[in-house]
Structure 1
């Protein structure tokens, strides 16, 4: 499968950027031929919100960079880069009454693969690969049930 760079967005580290990121990713992936991008939008929402809330990028003047790639015509890769923080992003167990803390759990359940690493500028990158066609999701579900 060919990995094709589609777009890079530089956004201010504020919660309003979440909506902008969702909208831009939908436009970019749809223009590239991806059919069902709702799951990608969910993942983008969680990753950008986490970068704003839990990294140095969420401080005044901070930036978040979002790269969008297409891997074939049924898989999208999203990389969200921030300036790092005091903690490493991880899935945590939330109590039923908690108002937050489920974002990376949603990412882990929605994405085919995801991970966290350091970027070349001393910050971090959290990435996810998400299926963008219903037929591809059905095929993966069938394989998991075997």
Structure 2
């Protein structure tokens, strides 16, 4: 399948960046002809929130970089790069009444595939591929999840 770069967004590591990125990703995918962008918008919201909450990108002057590409006509690939943290992101086990801690679990359940690696500058890159079709998506609950660490 062909992969085609669509856009790159560089936003400050602040909470208001989440809805801005969500909106831009939705508009970009829609303009590229994708019919269902809800999953991609949900995933990018979670990934940018995590970058803001858990990385050095939230320091004054910190940034989060988001890249969006399409794979064929039915998948969007989202990559969210932060300025690094002391740990590699991973899904957490939370209690039923916890208010936080479900972001990567939600990404895992929504994306067809996802993963994590460190970039050459020590930042974390979390990527996800989401279906953008109107029909049934890849059965994400049965799809393989490949988290890659470098």
Report TM bin, short chain.
over 0.9
Q: CA RMSD in A?
A: 1.9
**Are the counterparts in 1 of residues 25 and 68 from structure 2 also a CA contact under 8 Å?**
yes
In structure 1, runs of 5+ residues without a counterpart are none
1:59, CA displacement in angstroms? Answer: 1.1
**Pairing of 1:10-89 with structure 2 (within 5 A):** 10-89=10-89
How many residues align structurally?
144
What TM-score, normalized to structure 2?
A: 0.90
**Pairing of 1:51-130 with structure 2 (within 5 A):** 51-130=51-130
In structure 2, runs of 5+ residues without a counterpart are 145-150
Give the Cα separation in 2 of the matches to 1:104 and 1:138.
Answer: 18
CA deviations 1:83-132 (Å, max 9, x no partner) are 10012110111101111000000000000000110113321100000001
Which structure features the higher share of helix residues? 1
1:60, CA displacement in angstroms? Answer: 1.1
What TM-score, normalized to structure 1?
A: 0.93
Give the Cα separation in 2 of the matches to 1:121 and 1:22.
Answer: 26
